Structure 1
Amino acid sequence: MEYQYPIDVDWSQDEMLAVINFFNKIEDYYERKVEGSALKNAYSDFKKVVPGKADEKNIFDEFEKGSGYNSYKVVKLVKDNPDEKYFSANE
């Protein structure tokens, strides 16, 4: 699948890597499976870069337009099922 990650050029390299890592976990959910704790940690790092809800929504929407992957749905699923070890759209 060909798409770009929603990256802000004003972010530092570490911030860009945190956002990319988070979206890699979202991709893992849809393409394979992802460990719940890894996704929670990646989302926590993402929120340090993108603390605002409106900015988060815009970035999630931009990522979904390119990839077809709904980040909000995955984050909500993990938050609602904190004891689940692995998550996958394929199960």
Structure 2
Amino acid sequence: MDYHYPLDLDWSNDEMMDVISFFNQVEAYYESYVIGQHVIDKYRRFKEIIPSKAEEKQIFKTFEKASGYNSYQVVQKAKSQSDEKISNE
């Protein structure tokens, strides 16, 4: 991992850790696999911290530019296959 997470310094340490935890799920999707429901759970917490859709899109875009990982696609797949292992393969 040679990139930084898109974090807001106004967030609490717990909020930063929760956002990183969500992005860790996105990374795991591309690098191995995740359980769809785990992604959904982490995404729900992410949305508590970042309720604005516009801000979410900007953060996702920043993360994708840095990592190459599309968070939106991972969330959509997790929603459609919540009880399954999902991966990029």
The TM-score range, normalised by the shorter chain, is over 0.9
Q: Which residue identity does 2:5 align to in structure 1?
A: Y
Root mean square deviation of aligned Cα: 0.9
For the pair 1:71 / 2:71, whether they are aligned, the reply is yes
SS for the counterpart of 2:7 is coil
Identity %: 51
Q: How many residues align?
A: 89
TM-score (norm 2): 0.95
Q: Which residue of 1 aligns with 2:54?
A: 54
State how far apart, in whole Å, the 2-side matches of 1:55 and 1:48 are: 12
TM-score (norm 1): 0.93
State how far apart, in whole Å, the 2-side matches of 1:39 and 1:80 are: 11
Q: Which residue of 2 aligns with 1:21?
A: 21
- Per-residue displacement from partner, 1:49-90 (whole Å, max 9, x unpaired)? 0011000000000000000000001111111233x4110012
Q: List, as ranges, runs of 4+ consecutive aligned residues in structure 1 with deviation greater than 2 Å.
A: none
